[in-house]
Amino acid sequence: MKRRQSATQLAERMLAGDSLALPRLISLVEGESAAVAEIMRRIAPHTGRAYCVGVTGPPGAGKSTVVDKLTVLMRQRGLSVGIVAVDPSSPFTGGALLGDRIRMQQHYLDPGVFIRSMATRGSHGGLPGTVQGVIKLLDASGRDVILVETVGVGQTELDVVNTADVVIVVVTPESGDAVQAMKAGLFEIADIFAINKADREGAQRMKAELEAILAMKPGESIAVVLTEAHRGVGIEELYQELERYRRAQEENGELERRRRHRRREEFLELLQRRIRRRFLDFADKDGQLKALTEQVVAGELDPYSACARVLGDRHWLDKWLSQEGPALSEAEG
């Protein structure tokens, strides 16, 4: 309650550089508090400056370590850094173990580095649905670069594409052969590849195969960098590729195109999420809908027919839409 009342002041305090305000605001955004819209309106004039780097790849590839080492280089160049490190929420309990900070210990005395761990909280695309809002907060707080580390992904958790200005895909020499690289999904979204743990067997071969595949895509130049992140090897080169990519992106208008696309995606995503949440809440309370669900559970009614019945019932939809909106209210409690 205390937090809800002070959302606007919190935003003011954050913009004034108060170090406690940013973490609190992130919690409000992450918890989808009713104050989010107000917070976003307040900080909007201060956003759009930061460059957002997405780092994704399979579990254990070394994403956190790459992020940590890139942060060192960025700090040496005087850039302030915000890091969002995501780990999965349990689909069973909602709990999560967030362990990415372990690899990022060296920055704790540096006020130029802000690290926040996030759990996916029911989202399945590798990033929580609220990450975009958190990135905006970091942006408004004056971070030059924001590094977003996804959960360890498989082939299709690709939210990061609609989140970052550039995507680094971190893989290891064991991540697969040329055919893997030809498949849709993870290998398709990289703007830059880092083959990490490159001291292991097969790194050179993988680089050659990847480059051969990438050469088949005309008009794009996607760099493949060999790294041994834990020793800092190849990180300077990776950083150079980032810089090169960013310059090209700014010159050819690709950055703005990407950001426009992102705004659209964010809006539609947000609408979906809110509608879904409002509906689930309704489904929880509405007796008629519960009874229908019971019929489906008992096998008496197939889900398709049940669905048609719900969506075909104007009265029902009106009831749903006109209910007191609980969808945004949990932070008011």
Using CB under 8 A, list all residues that contact other proteins: 19-20, 23-24, 26-27, 31-32, 89-90, 93-99, 101-102, 105, 108-109, 114-117, 119, 121-122, 280, 330-331
C-beta of 92: minimal distance to other proteins in Å? 8
Query: Which of 183, 225, 256, 220 lies closest to 70 in space, CA to CA?
Result: 225
Cα–Cα dist 187/5, whole Å = 45
Residue 223 backbone dihedrals phi, psi, to 5 degrees: -80, 145
Nearer to other proteins, 137 or 203 (CB): 137
C-beta of 109: minimal distance to other proteins in Å? 7
Torsion of CA 27, 33, 35, 39, to 10 degrees: 40
- Decide if 240 contacts 290 (C-beta within 8 A): no
C-beta of 285: minimal distance to other proteins in Å? 14
C-beta of 281: minimal distance to other proteins in Å? 10
C-beta of 171: minimal distance to other proteins in Å? 25
How far is Cα of residue 178 from the mean position of the Cα atoms in its chain? 27
Nearer to other proteins, 17 or 122 (CB): 122
Residue with tokens 């360890």: 152
Buried b (16+ CB within 10 A) or exposed e, 256-267: eebeeebeeebe
Nearer to other proteins, 112 or 202 (CB): 112
C-beta of 58: minimal distance to other proteins in Å? 21
Nearer to other proteins, 248 or 275 (CB): 275
Question: What are the strands, taking DSSP E only, across 176-233?
Answer: 192-195, 223-226
Nearer to other proteins, 88 or 234 (CB): 88
Nearer to other proteins, 205 or 276 (CB): 276
Cα–Cα dist 180/58, whole Å = 13
